[in-house]
C-alpha cells in the first residue's frame, strides 16, 4: 500500500482544546494541558498513525490579540504553523460560539496560502443542546467554505475517530517522516521543561504563570540508566521567586515531585530532577529565552 504523510495544524482561540486533541490523537501527552489560557508557546509536533498514514500534528499557540513581545511571537508561530501545514483544523468551542476571536481567525483564513484543506471541528459538544450545535455549524459554514465539519469532544474522544480517518484520507502520498515508534519531534530537553512549566501553571495562579519560563540547563545520562536533569525557572521579580519557592520551599518541592513523577512515567526510568529559581527582570526581551521555547524572537517585533 502507498504510504501518506503530512502536517496537520490545529488552530483556534486559547483553551479551544487544541492540546487536548493533540494528546488524544497521539495517544500520549506531548502538549501542555491546563485550565489556563495561552499555555502552549511553541509549535509542538505530535505524531500519530492511521493505517498507512502518518499524521504530524502541529499544536499551535492559541490565536488571541497580542499585547507583549511574547504574545506576538506566539501568534506569529500559530499562523506560521497553519501556513506550513497540509491540512488545517479550526477548533471552535461549542458553548462559546462565534466570539470576536473566532471572527478574527475566520478573517485570517483568507490570507493563508491556497490549496490547503481547512476543516472545522466544533469541540466540547457535550456542553450545548443539539439545536444550538446545528445553528452554530450552519453559521460557521456560511462564513467560510470548510472542506468538512466535525463535532467532537477532544476530552472524551467523541467524534475524534471520524476526524482522524478523514485527515488520513486527505494527506498527500509520501514516505513517513518519523520512525513508527516516535510520538513527538520536540527535543526531550524542551519537553521536560514543558512538563515542569505545566506543574507551575497548575499550582500557581493569576498572572504569574505567563511571567515565568523553564529551561533545561543540563541532562546527564547516568550509568544506572537514570538521568539527572537540572532546570532553571526564570521569573521577573523577587516577589515571584518567593511565590514559586513557597513557605520553607514547600511549593518548589511539590512542583519538583509532580514533574519528576510525570517524567519518570513518560520516559519509563528513574529521573533525578533539580530545580533552581532565578530572577531575570527582562527575560521577555532576551533572544535566548525565545530560542529555548522554539519561538522566533523577531516575530515579537
Q: What is the pLDDT of residues 79-121, one digit of tens each?
A: 676 677 889 999 999 999 999 989 988 988 888 878 789 999 9
Read off the pLDDT band of 203 (50, 70, 90).
confident
pLDDT of residue 151: 97
In the numeric block, the cell 487536548 is attached to 20
Read off the pLDDT band of 178 (50, 70, 90).
confident
Buried b (16+ CB within 10 A) or exposed e, 145-170: ebebebbbbbbeeebbeebbebbbeb
pLDDT at 139 over 60: yes
User: Bigger pLDDT: 138 or 212?
Assistant: 138
Encode pLDDT of 11-32 as tens digits. Answer: 888 888 888 898 899 887 666 5
Nearest to 27 by CA among 199, 266, 188: 266
CB proximity list for 54: less than 8 A, separation 6 or greater: 3, 4, 5, 47, 48, 176, 177, 178
CB proximity list for 291: less than 8 A, separation 6 or greater: 297
d(CA 32, CA 191): 9
Encode pLDDT of 222-256 as tens digits. Answer: 999 999 999 999 998 888 999 899 999 999 999 99
Residue 60: other Cβ atoms inside 10 A: 27
Q: What is the pTM of this model?
A: 0.70
Amino acid at each position: 500500500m502507498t504510504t501518506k504523510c503530512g502536517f496537520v495544524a490545529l488552530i483556534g482561540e486559547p483553551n479551544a482544546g487544541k492540546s487536548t486533541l493533540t494528546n488524544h490523537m497521539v495517544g500520549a501527552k506531548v502538549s501542555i494541558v491546563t485550565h489556563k489560557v495561552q499555555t502552549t508557546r511553541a509549535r509542538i509536533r505530535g505524531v500519530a498513525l492511521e493505517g498507512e498514514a502518518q499524521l504530524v500534528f502541529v499544536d499551535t499557540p492559541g490565536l488571541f490579540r497580542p499585547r507583549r513581545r511574547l504574545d506576538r511571537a506566539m501568534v506569529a508561530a500559530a499562523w506560521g504553523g497553519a501556513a506550513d501545514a497540509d491540512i488545517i483544523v479550526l477548533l471552535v468551542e461549542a458553548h462559546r460560539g462565534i466570539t470576536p476571536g473566532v471572527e478574527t481567525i475566520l478573517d485570517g483564513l483568507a490570507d493563508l496560502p491556497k490549496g490547503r484543506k481547512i476543516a472545522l471541528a466544533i469541540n466540547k459538544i457535550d456542553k450545548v443542546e443539539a439545536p444550538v450545535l446545528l445553528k452554530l455549524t450552519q453559521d460557521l459554514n456560511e462564513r467560510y467554505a470548510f472542506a468538512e465539519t466535525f463535532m467532537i469532544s477532544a476530552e472524551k474522544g467523541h467524534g475524534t475517530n471520524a476526524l482522524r480517518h478523514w485527515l488520513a484520507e486527505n494527506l498527500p502520498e509520501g514516505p513517513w517522516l518519523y520512525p513508527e515508534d516516535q510520538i513527538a519531534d520536540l527535543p526531550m530537553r524542551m519537553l521536560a521543561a514543558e512538563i515542569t512549566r505545566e506543574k507551575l501553571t497548575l499550582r500557581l495562579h493569576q498572572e504569574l504563570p505567563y511571567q515565568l519560563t523553564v529551561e533545561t540547563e543540563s541532562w546527564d545520562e547516568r550509568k544506572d540508566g537514570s538521568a539527572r536533569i537540572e532546570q532553571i525557572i526564570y521569573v521577573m521579580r523577587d516577589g515571584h521567586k518567593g511565590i514559586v519557592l513557597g513557605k520553607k520551599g514547600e511549593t518548589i518541592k511539590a512542583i519538583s515531585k509532580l514533574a519528576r513523577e510525570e517524567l519518570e512515567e513518560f520516559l519509563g526510568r528513574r529521573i533525578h530532577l533539580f530545580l533552581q529559581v532565578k530572577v531575570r527582570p527582562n527575560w521577555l526581551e532576551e533572544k535566548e529565552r525565545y530560542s529555548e521555547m522554539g519561538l522566533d524572537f523577531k516575530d515579537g517585533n
